[in-house]
Amino acid sequence: MNEYNLNESYITDIKEKLALSTQDVQVYYGKNQAIFDANLNFPRYKITALIGASGSGKSTFLRCLNRMNDKVATVDGEISYRGVNINSPATNVYEVRKHIGMVFQRPNPFAKSIRENITFALKNAGIKKKSDLEERLEQSLKGAALWDEVKDDLDKSALALSGGQQQRLCIARSIAMHPDILLLDEPASALDPISTSKIEETLKNLSQDYSIIIVTHNLQQASRISDYTAFLHLGHVIEYNSTVNIFTNPQMKATEDYVSGNFG
Amino acid sequence: MNAKKIDRIASFIIYTIVGAVILLLIAILGYILFNGVPDISWHFLTSAAQSFSAGGGIRDQLFNSLYLLILTIIVSLPIGLGAGIYLSEYAADNWFTDLIRTSVEVLSSLPSVVVGLFGYLLFVIKLKLGFSILSGAIALTFFNLPLLTRNIEESLRSVPNLQREAGMSLGLSNWKTTTKIILPAALPGILTGLILSAGRIFGEAAALIYTAGQSAPTVDYSNWNIFSANSFLNPMRPAETLAVHIWKVNTESVTPDANLISSASSAVLIIVILLFNLGARFLGNKLYKKITATK
């Protein structure tokens, strides 16, 4: 692997409306710094992909965006959401997570029925009316392209679903909360190609109503579904540009090497 | 030696050891049941014990054992749950948590006689609770808590972290995530631990001799007033349990059929524990299926 100058970077200016932006975010695991000066602006209603080799810090960075790194790592810097710095100790993290949902690498439905998986958090958030719950249930399952497959089995255990269905259920669970932003941490890495393409299709459709930030290992996936792509290397954001430019006209040597498969 | 041969020898040794353990278990259980079961009769289970003549039963002892078990679980389960949840979900990894864990471990290795004597001095004498079911239940709680706490902590810990993250990412509080997601998922493990500890409580004698006492006063099974002195539910009365009864019949009894009583009581003790085991397991599975909606 070549040595790259990690302090050089090419970050494009986003002219669209922003969903989320970070200023000088640093992340430390104990004394080890995992993310260095991350300055990224995420556009609204677009899919932004975070790519990079293993250990580049892309998952770590993603988990900062809805404060899932609390108690795990120390996060410095500002994360602005609707003009508020959500990375301050005064922030109500539970509120933040209702607006910024997350889907994980491995499907993690609750050991409850399909219906309960969706409605549990809704009830907790204060939605009590049965008709409202039913509406959200149907809406979110349709949004995650799962409705037709499970509409007759809503009271069956979510654990009986296939891996791909479980992951779409997790997506449905997140969007049922009506978040603004959806964070996805390699949501298709544990799935077969057919499930993967279903998830990708789902995300494409969701990007009309949600701002999506997705970490992926799969370069084809990033180029297929994302509008913007950030390339991270060893904790540094090396390049951030429209996906077309990242893949066809990379500005940095490291990016070019990575997207052409020379390392990672 | 090649790998295949080593494997074969190792499995032979392991099978032998397992076989020996099972054989031992079967031998003990078989001996007790074989000797005791023929003497169990409806009369034996439903009549009071006799001090001097033959033909006494174990009605009161059996009831006392069950009642004491229930009281002990009522006292120890909430504390065990609280401690287990704290240790697994809330406690930071530091010297203080380590201290708590070590204390719990030390507590679990206390000999039951010591727990009994401690209970005698503190509850029976100092707090003037007298020889009573309550003193016994508290002493047994001391004895039961470490095991229960440890078990609950382990059961909660074995729920994958992904479940916690799922809860967190939906904006649920730590408490909601713990009680509504983690706890139900850990339920089968917690139940198994509860059953194991219940078996221990049910069979415990040494700690009870000094706390719940060795006498079984005649009680009125139709008196439901918990405060009445002769009510069967009164927790302030002394109560000889089945295990204590077995010990007493074997050491200082003058009844001519002491042998019969002790072997039949032992069989009853074991059968009840087995029933308890199976019943709770069945219940646990049912509960789990209901919560998780697995058909």
Label the pairing between strands A181-185 and A18-29. Answer: unpaired
Residue keyed to tokens 């042998």: B259
Q: Which residues in B147-220 belong to E strands, given as ranges?
A: none
Label the pairing between strands A10-11 and A100-103. Answer: unpaired
B172 to A174: CB separation less than 8 angstroms, yes or no: no
- Same domain flag for B138 and B209: yes
Q: What percent of chain A has pLDDT over 90?
A: 66
Shortest Cα distance, chain B CAs vs residue A53, angstroms: 23
Closest CA to B169 of A126, A174, A81: A174
d(CA B241, CA B201) in angstroms, rounded, equals 11
- Same domain flag for B78 and B4: no
d(CA B104, CA B109) in angstroms, rounded, equals 9
In a 13 Å sphere around the CA of B62, the CA atoms on its Cβ side amount to 24
A 10 A CB-CB count for A160 gives 16
Shortest Cα distance, chain A CAs vs residue B291, angstroms: 6
- Give the global pTM: 0.83
A97 to B170: CB separation less than 8 angstroms, yes or no: yes
Shortest Cα distance, chain B CAs vs residue A114, angstroms: 9
A157 to B292: CB separation less than 8 angstroms, yes or no: yes
Closest CA to A144 of A109, A120, A98, A111: A109
- Same domain flag for B130 and B17: no
Question: Can you give the residue range of the structural domain that contains B216?
Answer: 42-292
Strand, coil or helix: A238: strand
Closest CA to B188 of B292, B85, B56: B292
A97 to B171: CB separation less than 8 angstroms, yes or no: yes
Give me the residue from B172, B184, B292 closest to A124, CB to CB: B172
- Same domain flag for B148 and B251: yes
d(CA B138, CA B152) in angstroms, rounded, equals 20
pLDDT for the residue A194: 87
Give the A-side interface with B, CB within 8 Å. 66, 68, 94-98, 101-104, 106, 108-113, 116, 120-121, 124-125, 155-160, 170, 173-174, 177
- DSSP letter for each residue of A128-150: --HHHHHHHHHHHHHHTT-HHHH
- Same domain flag for B35 and B47: no
Q: Which residues of B touch A30 (CB under 8 A)?
A: none
Shortest Cα distance, chain B CAs vs residue A27, angstroms: 19
- Same domain flag for B131 and B258: yes
Q: Residue ranges per domain, chain A?
A: 10-259
A 10 A CB-CB count for A10 gives 16
Closest CA to A169 of A131, A195, A134, A197: A195
pLDDT for the residue B293: 67
Phi (first) and psi of residue A49, to 5 degrees: -105, 140
Torsion, Cα of A149, A199, A54, A2 (10° steps): 150
Question: What ipTM does this complex have?
Answer: 0.86
d(CA A86, CA B102) in angstroms, rounded, equals 39
**Pair A37, A24: CB distance under 8 Å:** yes
Give me the residue from B166, B173, B294 closest to A110, CB to CB: B166
d(CA B183, CA A240) in angstroms, rounded, equals 43
Element containing residue A51 per DSSP (H, E):
strand A47-51
Chain B residue nearest residue A97, CA to CA:
B171
B293 to A156: CB separation less than 8 angstroms, yes or no: yes
**Pair B156, B91: CB distance under 8 Å:** no
B168 to A104: CB separation less than 8 angstroms, yes or no: no
Regions of chain A with pLDDT less than 70:
1, 264
B163 to A116: CB separation less than 8 angstroms, yes or no: no
- Same domain flag for B12 and B123: no
- Same domain flag for B27 and B63: no
pLDDT for the residue A25: 93
d(CA B143, CA B145) in angstroms, rounded, equals 6
Regions of chain B with pLDDT less than 50:
none
Number of domains in chain B: 2
- Same domain flag for B129 and B13: no
Shortest Cα distance, chain B CAs vs residue A86, angstroms: 14
- Same domain flag for B87 and B114: yes
- Same domain flag for B119 and B49: yes
* Sign of the CA dihedral with A242 first, then A248, A252, and A257 last: positive
Give me the residue from A101, A125, A159 closest to B169, CB to CB: A101
Among A112, A173, A178, the strongest candidate for a mutation testing the B interface, having the largest count of B CBs within 10 A, is A112
CATH 3.40.50.300 assigned to A10-259? yes
Between chain A and chain B, the number of residue pairs with CB atoms below 8 A apart is 78
Q: Which residues of B touch A94 (CB under 8 A)?
A: 171-173
- Same domain flag for B161 and B251: yes
B292 to A102: CB separation less than 8 angstroms, yes or no: no
B168 to A68: CB separation less than 8 angstroms, yes or no: yes
Residues counted in chain A: 264
Domain of residue B130, CATH code: 1.10.3720.10
d(CA B29, CA A152) in angstroms, rounded, equals 50
Give me the residue from A111, A170, A173 closest to B185, CB to CB: A111
Cα Rg of chain A (Å, integer): 18
